[in-house]
Amino acid sequence: MNNQLYGNLIFELSKTGRKGYSLPKNRFGAYEVPAALRRHKDAELPECDEMTVVRHYTNLSANNFGVDNGFYPLGSCTMKYNPKINEEIAALPQFQDLHPLQPADTTKGARALVSLLEQQLCTLTGLAHFTFKPYAGAHGELTGLMIIDNYHRSRGDMQRKKVIVPDSAHGTNPASATVCGLEILEVKSTAEGLVSVEDLERIISQEGSNIAAMMMTNPNTLGLFETAIPEITRLIHDCGGLMYYDGANLNPMLGVCRPGDMGFDVMHINLHKTFSTPHGGGGPGSGPVGVREGLQQFFPFVSPYEGNFGVLIKACAYIMSLGRDYIKEVGPLATLNANYIKESLKDVYELPIEGLCKHEFVFDGLKDKSTGVTTMDVAKRLLDYGYHAPTIYFPLLFHESLMIEPTENESKDTIDGFIQVMRQIAEEARTNPELLKSAPHNTPIGRVDDVLAAKHPIVTYRQMLADNG
Ligand SMILES: *Cc1c(COP(=O)(O)O)cnc(C)c1O
């Protein structure tokens, strides 16, 4: 990489009068833009030759880390391989050039795809109907809770305004419930990391007639299968509440078991995690919501058209390219890969909860706490070795959480390489902790001061110039 080019802004590469284009001669008469619509002064655009522009942006793009250029073991977010055939199908002009307002009889193919995907998701989840309007997982949660709220209100059950959320839940669960105007009751986890049925019984005995729903993530954010689900769904249904399933990460369940069969009434799926689609940095996403028979009339209006249609195409292509037989291997492989990493590292990283995990698991930092090396240091050092860091400091149940999800796509060699580097880092923590505390050393920008960046963000070019004197 040309370091002189990298680090410059395109504006700094600008030379007055330099051009990277030539326009054809104007064959038409002059057209004057009305004075009222004209700029008062010229737009400050960079003036560069074509090669400079190409190199500048290519070098910048090479600083991006993605699933396509390295291992990305980010827990809870499922950064899995996105097969290129999905992109090709989504880019077919018959799909890509659709306009949301074109006459319905010209969009039959697109609508057939949506109903095919609905059938596929119903088959995989055991639910009866899906809406594809939500744009992300959190949007799906909000939609699902609105369905539940509409259901209770349709029965005149106005006082049901409380939602039970486990303390291990993803932060979007309590946030969505709050946005929906519902109140949260937090249920504790047991020492084994599962929902405490005892604590749940206590909550129900106090609040039973106010409970609208219970939200559960399964496998939960510790990667553990919630084994008490039959008992929990019975308790909630008996007190008149509905069961909500956070199916953001369905990877380990595909073709193995179904939320509908477990007694859940409403769920969302993150198509952009479980069924591929490149995501991150806020999009694009799709969080379809499924319901059991009888709840579909409560679908609220949360967005026009069919949500992020491109993501639906990719999910459908992903499901169809695996097919009925191979989709059953996703869950077992995701589970095998996660357990293999966990067992290979638990002698040097602290494993707070023993036993079989599903698609992901959590370490509580390094086992040897005497070195002072933190989870943050380990994550930064991984960047030096060319790996994206796992999710860190989430879930909040432990102080030094390091949450790893390899996904089903990775080969044993890739995983062995990661294990070897994680062991190497544990060794460095013992022999040279300073090396880790100042990491990363090989990236274009070193350790960022998070607090300064948050308290004093430099968001414009002018401000950066002013700050640099
Ligand atoms: C990612 C995730 C969400 C939120 O999904 P977004 O698409 O980011 O809004 C909710 N719950 C769990 C368990 C998740 O992993």
Q: Which of 129-133, 346-350, 463-467 has the lowest mean pLDDT?
A: 463-467
User: 76: how many CB neighbours lie within 10 A of its CB?
Assistant: 20
pLDDT for 353 equals 92
Please state the φ and ψ torsions of residue 4, each to the nearest 5 degrees: -70, -35
Residue whose CA is at the smallest distance from ligand 1 atom 14:
248
For residue 72, pLDDT over 60 is answered with yes
- Report whether residue 174 contacts ligand 1, using a CB cutoff of 6 Å: no
What gap in Å lies between CA 117 and CA 315, rounded to an integer?
8
pLDDT for 3 equals 44
- Report whether residue 170 contacts ligand 1, using a CB cutoff of 6 Å: yes
Residue 228's nearest CA partner among 202, 269, 220, 398 is: 220
pLDDT for 4 equals 47
pLDDT for 1 equals 41
Q: pLDDT tens for residues 155-196?
A: 999 999 999 999 989 999 999 999 999 999 999 999 999 999
Atom of ligand 1 nearest to the CA of 76: 15
User: What pTM did the predictor assign?
Assistant: 0.89
- Report whether residue 249 contacts ligand 1, using a CB cutoff of 6 Å: yes
- Report whether residue 279 contacts ligand 1, using a CB cutoff of 6 Å: no
DSSP 365-412: SBS-GGG---HHHHHHHHHHTT----EES-STTSTTEEEE---TT--H
Residue whose CA is at the smallest distance from ligand 1 atom 2:
248
Beta bridge partners of 307: none
pLDDT for 5 equals 42
Rg (CA), the chain: 26
For the chain, percent of residues with pLDDT exceeding 90: 82
pLDDT for 469 equals 59
For residue 60, pLDDT over 90 is answered with no
Q: pLDDT tens for residues 75-91?
A: 998 999 999 999 999 99
Q: pLDDT tens for residues 338-366?
A: 999 999 999 999 999 998 999 999 999 99
Q: Which of 266-275, 302-311, 400-409 has the lowest mean pLDDT?
A: 302-311
Residue whose CA is at the smallest distance from ligand 1 atom 15:
76
